[in-house]
Amino acid sequence: MYAFNYHRPASLADAAKLLGGASDGKFIAGGQTLLPTLKNRLASPSDLVDLTGIAELGGISASGGAVSIGAITKHAAVATSADVKKAIPALAKLAGGIGDPQVRNMGTCGGSVANNDPAADYPAAVVGLNATVHTNKRKIAADAFFTGLFETALEEGEIITKIEFPQPKRAGYEKFRNPASRYAMVGVFVAETANGIRVAVTGAGPCVFRHTEMEAALGKSFSPDALKGIKTDPAKMNSDIHGSGEYRAHLVGVVAKRAVQNALG
Amino acid sequence: MANQGIGQAVRRKEDFRFITGQGHYTDDINRPGQLYAVFLRSPHAFAKIRSINTDAARKMPGVVAVYTGKDVAADKVGGLICGWTVKDKQGNPHKAPRHDIIAIDHVRHVGDQVAVVIARSTSEARDACEAIEVDYDVLAPVTDVRSALKPGAPQVHADAPGNLCYDWEFGDKASTDQAFAKAAHVTKIELVNNRLSPNPMEPRSAIGEYDSGTDSTTVYTTSQNPHVIRLILCAFVLGLPEHKVRVIAPDVGGGFGSKIFNYAEETVCVWAARKLKKPVKWTSDRTEAFLTDAHGRDHVTHAELALDKDGKFLGLRVATMANMGAYLSTFASAVPTYLYALLLAGQYTTPAIYAEVKAVFTNTTPVDAYRGAGRPEATYVVERIVEAAARELKMDPAEIRRRNFVPVDAFPYQTPVACVYDSGQYAKALDEAMKMADYANFAKRKAESARKGNLRGIGICAYIEACGIAPSAVVGSLGAGVGLWESAQIRFNATGSVFVYTGSHSHGQGHETTFAQIVSDKLGVPMENIEVVHGDTALVPMGMGTYGSRSLAVGGSAIIRATEKIIDKGKKIAAHLMEASVDDVAYDKGIFSVKGTDKQVPMAQIAFTAYVPHNYPADLEPGLEASAFYDPANFTFPAGVHIAEVEIDSATGVTTIANWVAVDDFGNVINPMIVEGQVHGGIAQGIGQAMLEGVVYDPKSGQLLTASFNDYCMPRADDLPSYKVGMIETPCPHNPLGVKGCGEAGAIAAPAALMNAITDALGTEDINMPATPQNVWRVIQRQNLAAAAE
Amino acid sequence: MTISVTITVNGQQETRDVEPRTLLVQFLREHLQLTGTHVGCDTSQCGACVVHIDGKSVKSCTILAAQAQGAKVITIEGLAQDGKLHPMQEAFREHHALQCGFCTPGMIMSAVDLAQRNPNPSEETVRHELEGNLCRCTGYHNIVKAVMAGAQAMRG
């Protein structure tokens, strides 16, 4: 790692101020993605502003047909939360499958969403459930939040405070893991929401995306068989030594069917 | 003490320190005033170094020194050596181009060391590395053997034309050609034995320390063979007197072959420590380990098996290209030759065998011995082609093997490729394995899988290996630069406790327990009163170390010889104490007695008497200790049968191991718990090779694409099954323990067993290791198996 | 520039001035000489560095010492109590769940956390839960057995 300054503010206002005052500052929450990046000297921030001391960013609450998860809530807490398990079991399952137990004890919901790694799980849930991302400045709709590879709608210094997941009628998540890294090579979140079916795919492409053809098909019949014959364009998929575009495109179909099956219980 | 001796599953003596975090691995050791080395490594696979500017780096905070290859050359440091000279078809020695400990004019693989920064901390050294400016003339690299042998390929070394290290042959070409001429059937197969990264969990580490007062040097290093490292460092690379150098290999966190070799980094630490008169420490990170720890395997092979109409093997012809990487590592030349072609008879009576091996330089990390070293490659060739032949001839793969096994009454058995097999019961192992695997009912299970839309396959591997390495005169005649005996010393204390010094090195094998069991059994000393000492050249007599499943067969035999000397001397002391003649003294399990009387003296009293010799034979030296060196009469030949059963998800290509059976014959077993543990670990590495692991280079840039655990797939707990392990004990007839060795068997047997199961499920031989989900899925698409399964 | 970090390690409050870039594992190994916690990779995968922070297993190579400010950390050296091995340590020895011993501290720390969350884990659960710990020696067979036995011993 390159040298940096470290700050641990207790309030959102202080956090924003510290970042603003740094020449090239970065927020850190659990650090489970950021620290490996820093250790490999792939980034050299001047300052790290640790958000985990800000009490108002924590906590899980369920009310009014939605589950709100504070930005610094750890994956393990989401996975084991009675509220989440009751309202959106697919979300609890997703959180319980991120990384490994040790990563889940440190990594946070807000950190994962803000980082928007193409192979992360949370973006699939945010898009699949049409969640709303709350920040210290505004509310951002899921469809407008993830803008590209490691890119989001967050502005400089903007801090995610919580994510509000509307409770779906039913939902399912399934992922096919990269055999080596265990990140999602293809992850599909399927939800039947108040406003129709949503199918969000992570891992396969450069950024989480909605599979509109699958959404239409599942709108007609919410069953794995409804997805038969639906193709995904290999040219739009990521490709690496573990999975070519063709393989990933194929897996999107298989994994989506299994996600639907999970939603059906 | 009845539950502590030979054959008992004694719990390990070494475990307490490890389970309480009190092991002492090299990186846990810190010396006063210690400095830290970080290497600047080549980002290019092949380049000429035009110039290096270290001025800025030298001025960075905490930097004590920055050295390049020119500084090393100015001190007349030798290059790293290959200790085994293989002669080619014409009898010429192999090409062993110079391997500088820091590159001088060219870099030849990504990760090649270009400079070293020595600083007060690792962070400061790393910061300074980034300030070194290197002007490279980047050259087109070559990474695979086929491309490297083509005319016009980039030339890795000017003094190895055509990138050829050697073109070697073994066996009788004429008789093999004759066998093929009369064959009723010939099976042909193309195989790639994938390149692997050994990845012991402990990364390599070294500390060099110089004491100018005594002009002596101490090296702490992650080594499987500290004396061999001392010998190479002193006699070949640094030119130091051997008696002024102490090499300590403390607790070592796994080796699997990769810690046999003399590496540049430990050498640089020693050289720099002597220059700076300060301890210099280097610890590898995992990416450096991927870039610089010697890799394993990387063969491309064409093989042909000639059979008669009844499935009897008549002849085997093998042509292999072996990737050596950019430089010839310490024992690299022996791996695809004498550790490979000599095992091509497998467990069979194949009368004629001929092998050709081309060893090839490429712009990749050097390749050397990795768990099994040559023998997994041989077993993979033999067991894949035997299985393929059975399928072509529509024979039961078990039956074709049974028809060709060396029969139990044929031992010692001379193969056509030089080996004399010591003992074995090959059919018995197969029968036992088939029973344990419920082979008879496989068809039912396959039908059940098919109902679920899945594919199912079963695969056998009947492997053999040559262990107990090795008779010194034999390996000497084949080009080895060392003898492969082992040493032992047993030293009693006056109070009856015992030190056992062994030239073997334990880095997970449990020698501290197994060797203590032997001594306890032979000398009647309780386990808790025995301390096994290894890994320090200042304490232990010259020894050759641990690799090739040799420690028990060779090092254990040396210990037995030492116990015999102790007992012989003990008899003389006992005779004196009991006022009997030496010829009348009997010995059994720690008790000396006079035959036909009730007089007896225990070992502890003998030891006390030897050190407090007030009442003592006049012509006998005091003290009770004995040294022994054991040079084996032959290799040992462990063998066995593994059966793998897999289920493949035809939608995703994911292979699940449904069952794994291993029946091994390691001769006599000293500690079955430890032996089974070795089998488990070996199987896991073999499964890793067959379906998870593979080093991948980008062919254009020569970049290593699998340089971390994010891309190199290490076996995890949920990738693997529990294993069913059975044992047959056919004693080795030529060593005093009757043991054969067990450390590599699993890694030798598993790849062929698993690939035979996967190819059985897929109905084609045409898939290479690792059979990853993607690779299996591609075959499923090609064979249209998904549709068939649905 | 250094910052002051205070962490309670194995029951002992420890304060050190460290560079902000100091990882928890460096704090333990280099500043406190607690070398039982190991480093086996650079990408947070091998788990040789697992310790407990406030009772939960984490990878100490992927946490800044500063992030553990004020926390209670238990390392492998602090697992045995009053000279008596933890049941999971005993189980690892009894079932030959270690060979070279390098992954063992992290493996045991993960296993203790696993058993706290799953008092009666199945083989499948154990294998799945050990996803963050690599072992190159044992093939996991005996580790899985030991973790199941250790969990049983922990529930008494």
pLDDT surpasses 50 at B790: no
Helix or strand holding residue B499 (H, E):
strand B498-502
Q: Does B713 touch chain C (CB under 8 A)?
A: no
From the list B14, B254, B746, the residue facing C102 with the nearest CB is B254
Instruction: Give residue B776's pLDDT.
Output: 98
For residue range B274-296, list pLDDT tens digits in order. 999 999 999 999 999 999 999 99
**Residue A109 and residue A114: Cα distance in Å, rounded?**
9
> Closest approach of chain B CAs to the CA of C69, in angstroms?
22
Nearest CA in chain B to A253: B651
pLDDT surpasses 50 at B1: no
Q: Name every chain C residue with its beta carbon within 8 A of the beta carbon of A39.
A: 23, 42, 61-62
Same domain? C32 vs C94 = no
Q: Does C25 touch chain B (CB under 8 A)?
A: no
For residue range B427-445, list pLDDT tens digits in order. 999 999 999 999 999 999 9
Nearest CA in chain B to A255: B652
- Residue that is last in its domain, among C78, C101, C135: C78
For residue range B143-175, list pLDDT tens digits in order. 999 999 999 999 999 999 999 999 999 999 999
> Closest approach of chain A CAs to the CA of B706, in angstroms?
9
From the list B21, B677, B681, the residue facing C77 with the nearest CB is B21
For residue range B73-93, list pLDDT tens digits in order. 999 999 999 999 999 999 999
> Which residues sit opposite B643 in a β-bridge?
B460, B661
Handedness of CA A163, A166, A167, A168 (dihedral sign): negative
Nearest CA in chain A to B776: A247
The pLDDT mean for chain B works out to 97
**Across the A/C interface, how many CB contacts are shorter than 8 Å?**
77
Radius of gyration over alpha carbons of chain B, in Å?
A: 27
Q: Which residues of chain A fall below pLDDT 50? A: none
> Closest approach of chain B CAs to the CA of A179, in angstroms?
6
Structure tokens at B166: 């050697």
pLDDT surpasses 70 at B349: yes
Q: Give the three-class secondary structure for B84.
A: strand
**Residue B117 and residue B124: Cα distance in Å, rounded?**
9
The whole-number average pLDDT for the span B320-335 is 97
Q: Name every chain C residue with its beta carbon within 8 A of the beta carbon of A36.
A: 42-44, 62
Same domain? A45 vs A72 = no
Instruction: Give residue B5's pLDDT.
Output: 87
Mutation target among C6, C18, C21, C51 for the A interface, most CBs of A within 10 A:
C21
> What number of other Cβ atoms are within 10 A of residue B418's Cβ?
18
**What residue type is assigned to position C110 of the chain?**
S
ipTM: 0.98
Nearest CA in chain C to B744: C137
The whole-number average pLDDT for the span B527-556 is 96
Taking an 8 Å cut-off on Cβ atoms, the answer to whether B710 and A2 are in contact is no
The residues near B559 (Cβ < 8 Å, ≥ 6 apart) are B488, B490, B500, B502, B515, B518, B519, B628
Q: In total, how many domains does chain A have?
A: 2
Q: Does C24 touch chain B (CB under 8 A)?
A: no
Helix or strand holding residue C147 (H, E):
helix C141-155
For residue range B444-495, list pLDDT tens digits in order. 999 999 999 999 999 999 999 999 999 999 999 999 999 999 999 999 999 9
| Backbone dihedral angles phi then psi of residue A234, each to the nearest 5 degrees | -60, -30
Same domain? A141 vs A35 = no
**Residue A113 and residue B599: Cα distance in Å, rounded?**
83
State pTM to two decimals: 0.97
pLDDT surpasses 90 at B4: no
**Closest to B254 measured CA to CA, from B137, B103, B371:** B371
* Burial (Cβ within 10 Å: 0-12, 13-18, ≥19) of residue C72: middle
**Residue B481 and residue B327: Cα distance in Å, rounded?**
18
Same domain? A67 vs A45 = no
Domain at A44, CATH number: 3.30.43.10
Taking an 8 Å cut-off on Cβ atoms, the answer to whether C40 and B203 are in contact is yes
Confidence bin at B785 (pLDDT 50/70/90): confident
Same domain? A16 vs A34 = yes
Same domain? C8 vs C52 = yes
Q: Name every chain B residue with its beta carbon within 8 A of the beta carbon of C89.
A: 19-20
Same domain? C68 vs C100 = no
> Closest approach of chain C CAs to the CA of A143, in angstroms?
31
Taking an 8 Å cut-off on Cβ atoms, the answer to whether B254 and C136 are in contact is yes
Same domain? A28 vs A73 = no
Instruction: Give residue B786's pLDDT.
Output: 67
Q: Does B371 touch chain C (CB under 8 A)?
A: no
Same domain? A183 vs A107 = yes
Nearest CA in chain B to A247: B774
From the list A4, A8, A105, the residue facing C21 with the nearest CB is A4
- Residue that is last in its domain, among C13, C45, C78: C78
Q: Does B253 touch chain C (CB under 8 A)?
A: yes
Same domain? A256 vs A229 = yes
**Residue B2 and residue B524: Cα distance in Å, rounded?**
10
Nearest CA in chain A to C125: A101
The whole-number average pLDDT for the span B736-764 is 97
Taking an 8 Å cut-off on Cβ atoms, the answer to whether C66 and A50 are in contact is yes
Would you list the DSSP string of B112-177? -EEEEEEESSHHHHHHHHTT-EEEEEE-----SHHHHHSTT---S-TTSGGGEEEEEEEE-HHHHH
Mutation target among A6, A54, A74 for the C interface, most CBs of C within 10 A:
A6
From the list A2, A4, A32, the residue facing C44 with the nearest CB is A32
Same domain? C26 vs C46 = yes
pLDDT surpasses 90 at B346: yes
Confidence bin at B2 (pLDDT 50/70/90): low
pLDDT surpasses 60 at B788: no
From the list B651, B652, B711, the residue facing A180 with the nearest CB is B711
| Backbone dihedral angles phi then psi of residue B241, each to the nearest 5 degrees | -70, 135
Structural domains present in chain B:
31-139+201-254+259-292 (3.90.1170.50), 299-469+634-788 (3.30.365.10), 485-630 (3.30.365.10)
From the list B12, B22, B201, the residue facing C103 with the nearest CB is B201
Q: Are strands B313-325 and B352-361 parallel, antiparallel or unpaired?
A: parallel
CA distances from B366 to B40, B166, B288, B291 (A): 18, 15, 13, 9
Instruction: Give residue B784's pLDDT.
Output: 83
Taking an 8 Å cut-off on Cβ atoms, the answer to whether C20 and A3 are in contact is yes
Cβ atoms of A54 and A29 within 8 Å: the answer is no
Same domain? C103 vs C149 = yes
Same domain? C101 vs C147 = yes
Same domain? C18 vs C71 = yes
Same domain? A113 vs A87 = yes
Q: Does C63 touch chain B (CB under 8 A)?
A: no
Q: Are strands B498-502 and B530-533 parallel, antiparallel or unpaired?
A: parallel
**Residue B94 and residue B485: Cα distance in Å, rounded?**
25
> Which residues sit opposite B411 in a β-bridge?
none
* Burial (Cβ within 10 Å: 0-12, 13-18, ≥19) of residue A193: middle
For residue range B174-204, list pLDDT tens digits in order. 999 999 999 999 999 999 999 999 999 999 9
Nearest CA in chain A to C2: A5
> Closest approach of chain B CAs to the CA of C6, in angstroms?
22
Taking an 8 Å cut-off on Cβ atoms, the answer to whether B712 and A247 are in contact is no
> Closest approach of chain B CAs to the CA of A32, in angstroms?
14
Owning domain of residue C104: 87-155
Same domain? C92 vs C74 = no
Q: Give the three-class secondary structure for B266.
A: helix
pLDDT surpasses 70 at B789: no
Instruction: Give residue B621's pLDDT.
Output: 97
**Residue B429 and residue B27: Cα distance in Å, rounded?**
43
- Residue that is last in its domain, among C48, C78, C108: C78
What does the angle CA B710 – CA B713 – CA B718 come to, to the nearest 5 degrees? 110
| B348 DSSP assignment | B
Sheet with B600-602, side-by-side order of all strands: B585-588, B591-594, B600-602
**Residue A66 and residue C81: Cα distance in Å, rounded?**
45
> Which residues sit opposite A247 in a β-bridge?
none
Same domain? A152 vs A42 = no
The residues near C2 (Cβ < 8 Å, ≥ 6 apart) are C17, C18, C19, C20
Confidence bin at B787 (pLDDT 50/70/90): low
Domain at C93, CATH number: 1.10.150.120
Nearest CA in chain A to B696: A241
Taking an 8 Å cut-off on Cβ atoms, the answer to whether C38 and B199 are in contact is no
**Closest to B728 measured CA to CA, from B408, B386, B411, B414:** B408
Handedness of CA B289, B292, B294, B296 (dihedral sign): positive
High-pLDDT (> 90) share of chain B, %? 98
Structure tokens at B285: 């990170």
| Subunits close to B (at least 3 CB pairs below 8 A) | A, C
Structure tokens at C112: 């203790």
Domain at C42, CATH number: 3.10.20.30
Q: Name every chain B residue with its beta carbon within 8 A of the beta carbon of A179.
A: 692, 713, 719, 772-773
**What residue type is assigned to position C48 of the chain?**
A
Same domain? A184 vs A154 = yes
Taking an 8 Å cut-off on Cβ atoms, the answer to whether C42 and A36 are in contact is yes
> Closest approach of chain A CAs to the CA of B484, in angstroms?
38
- Residue that is last in its domain, among A49, A67, A85: A49
Mutation target among C96, C103, C104, C122 for the B interface, most CBs of B within 10 A:
C96
Taking an 8 Å cut-off on Cβ atoms, the answer to whether A181 and B127 are in contact is no
B153-192 residues touching C, CB cutoff 8 A:
none
Domain at A145, CATH number: 3.30.465.10
**Residue B753 and residue B770: Cα distance in Å, rounded?**
13
Nearest CA in chain B to C41: B286
For residue range B632-654, list pLDDT tens digits in order. 999 999 999 999 999 999 999 99
Taking an 8 Å cut-off on Cβ atoms, the answer to whether A179 and B652 are in contact is no
Same domain? A22 vs A73 = no
Cβ atoms of B206 and B269 within 8 Å: the answer is yes
> Closest approach of chain A CAs to the CA of C129, in angstroms?
7
For residue range B25-46, list pLDDT tens digits in order. 999 999 999 999 999 999 999 9
Owning domain of residue A27: 5-49
Handedness of CA B738, B743, B746, B747 (dihedral sign): negative
